[in-house]
Amino acid sequence: MLLAILISAAFALSLESTNDVCAYNVSKTLPDAIKTIADALASECADPKIYDITLLDSEHIEQLSINQNVTVFIKGGNGSATVWKAETPEQQILFIDDGNITLENLEFQFIITNETEIHLSPTNNLIFVEGMINKPSITLISCIFQSIDGDFKDKIYQLHIHEAQLVQIINSTFNGLGSQNKSCVSIVSIDDSVEVTIKGCLFQNALFSENQEAVIVMMNTFNTTLVIQNNSFINITLSQITQEAALSIYSFVAHKEIIAGNTFTNLYADKSSSAALFIRDSTQDQSSLKYQFINNTFTNNTGKVAGAVYLYSTTPSLHYDFTYNTFKLNKNNVTDGLGKDAYFNFTEPHLDWTVDIIKVALKDMFNGSKSDAKKGSVYFETYNDTGVALSGSVTLSKAKWYQNVYVIIGIACGAIVLIVITVLVFICCVVGCRKWKKAFNSTGDERKPLISNKQSNSA
């Protein structure tokens, strides 16, 4: 949230410091407003062209292409997020191949334009960024992306970004259709971009029927940065064998990579490598730069080989940092349960590697990480031309009881039940005592003599 505020404030400050900002209100219901974003962008604006556009209606219908070197800030101005749709069967609602574009407080939706023949709008992506020539930049702040039911032939993404200069996705929500309704719409695909940041986002409630992953990032450009931080991946199911994980990262060249502070919860992929995180490392430059996967929490995830992490490496390097992660209740489909937290596949290992060398390296990689697994929850295999050459496992330190939320909940519930029982027993004792005292309450007559004093004297 703080990062989103800072980005918005920085943008607003840049607008205030420029005399030639072109600010427009867009509405199809208010008489004095411009009707479309395209009309606003077509209006005269002095260089450098900077547009500040506010959508006043609760719903906005427009297919928009931005293909000029401009700075554009488009935000919903109706309190809650403005719903943005395209009623014509276009390939995407918003197409960007140039400029520096910021979107805030907007909700993007698919719609069916023909119930009889099932025409989807847009047909391919809610937002598509194509930067083969101009390398545009896109920032999303507090936006919402919705999925849709149905079987469609083309690959469909909520957000598809190819070769951007800057990608910032902050405090945004990406929704599926729930755990019972299959969708062929993948969430996010980002490839060949220079600087990618995904922070504070929520990816949730999806059952994917198609082959592509839920969220996939490919780093194939030198001197690039990938930061995925403080996001939540919740209740995502992958149903195809070709899907790798809820979050898949492919690295083909050396770059800075930080995956930190994320939570992966209730993810299921019994046909896939891992339910939560898949990493492919094909960097062949022998870089000493460590890829950081730190301070993440993996809870109740089920995969075919590993519940939480699957790393596939074709480089003879052990340049990974998995320190201070927490693993809880993760499962795999392996009989002995080895590798239920993490599995490492080294297909081109260094010739000098031995089982002991790899074990020592893994223990160092996972320093400070905790797991509730009994033993061998991190498993590795190396391969040569004939198959598996080396294999082994390491056991992570046990998570403390007070670090396990389920234990804490159990203790709290037990304490509450004990208190309730104690109070009930006390109430029953008090009520019982009062009834007993009432039944045997003294009137004082039992202390009187059977014959009064007067009667005894007269006698």
Higher pLDDT, 405 or 208: 208
| One-letter amino acid for residue 97 of the chain | D
Quickly list DSSP for 301-329: -EESSBSSEEEEE-SS---EE-TT-EEES
CA distance 198 to 214: 14
**Mean pLDDT on 122-139:** 95
Nearest CA to 224 out of 205, 252, 200 is that of 252
Q: How far is CA 391 from the centre of its chain?
A: 32
Q: Which residues contact 117 (CB under 8 A, 6 or more apart)?
A: none
Longest dimension (CA), the chain: 132
| One-letter amino acid for residue 296 of the chain | N
CB 360 within 8 A of CB 378: no
In this model, does residue 451 exceed pLDDT 80? no
Quickly list DSSP for 61-74: E--EEE-SS-EEEE
pLDDT of residue 435: 66
pLDDT of residue 17: 35
Q: Which residues contact 40 (CB under 8 A, 6 or more apart)?
A: 22, 24, 26, 34, 51, 53
In this model, does residue 447 exceed pLDDT 80? no
pLDDT of residue 115: 63
For the chain, the 3-state helix, strand and coil shares in percent, each to the nearest 5, are: 15, 40, 40
- Least-confidence region, from 3-17, 31-45, 54-68, 342-356: 3-17
CA distance 368 to 358: 18
**Mean pLDDT on 228-249:** 92
DSSP SS3 for 12:
helix
Instruction: Copy the structure tokens of residue 303.
Output: 């995969």
Where are the chain's structural domains?
19-155+167-177, 213-417
Higher pLDDT, 250 or 440: 250
User: Would you place residue 360 in the very low, low, confident or very high pLDDT band (cuts 50, 70, 90)?
Assistant: very high
Nearest CA to 330 out of 365, 369, 356, 293 is that of 369
- Least-confidence region, from 51-55, 205-209, 357-361: 205-209
pLDDT of residue 455: 45
CB 211 within 8 A of CB 180: no
H or E element, residue 398: strand 397-398
pLDDT of residue 426: 74
Higher pLDDT, 369 or 116: 369
In this model, does residue 267 exceed pLDDT 90? yes
Partnered with residue 121 across adjacent β-strands are: 111
pLDDT of residue 140: 98
User: Would you place residue 400 in the very low, low, confident or very high pLDDT band (cuts 50, 70, 90)?
Assistant: low
In this model, does residue 362 exceed pLDDT 90? yes
User: Would you place residue 222 in the very low, low, confident or very high pLDDT band (cuts 50, 70, 90)?
Assistant: confident
> pLDDT tens for residues 188-206?
999 999 999 999 999 999 9
- Least-confidence region, from 3-17, 88-102, 226-240: 3-17
pLDDT of residue 86: 92
Residue matched to tokens 């198609």 = 210
Higher pLDDT, 297 or 148: 297
> pLDDT tens for residues 72-84?
999 999 889 999 9
User: Would you place residue 18 in the very low, low, confident or very high pLDDT band (cuts 50, 70, 90)?
Assistant: very low
CA distance 235 to 215: 14
CA distance 144 to 82: 10
Provide the mean pLDDT of the chain. Answer: 86
Q: Judge residue 112's burial from the number of C-beta atoms within 10 Å of its C-beta, 0-12 exposed, 13-18 middle, 19 or more buried.
A: middle
Partnered with residue 387 across adjacent β-strands are: 384
In this model, does residue 347 exceed pLDDT 60? yes
Higher pLDDT, 405 or 57: 57
CA distance 296 to 361: 20
CA distance 18 to 89: 38
Peptide bond between residue 48 and the one before it cis (omega within 30 degrees of 0): yes
pTM for this entry: 0.83
- Least-confidence region, from 230-239, 364-373, 381-390, 392-401: 392-401
Quickly list DSSP for 78-146: BSBPEEEE--S--SEEEEESSSEEEEESEEE--EEEETTTTEEESSSEEEEEE-TTT--EEEEES-EE-
pLDDT of residue 429: 72
CB 364 within 8 A of CB 331: no
CA distance 443 to 413: 48
User: Would you place residue 446 in the very low, low, confident or very high pLDDT band (cuts 50, 70, 90)?
Assistant: very low
CA distance 80 to 78: 6
- Least-confidence region, from 24-28, 110-114, 133-137, 405-409: 405-409
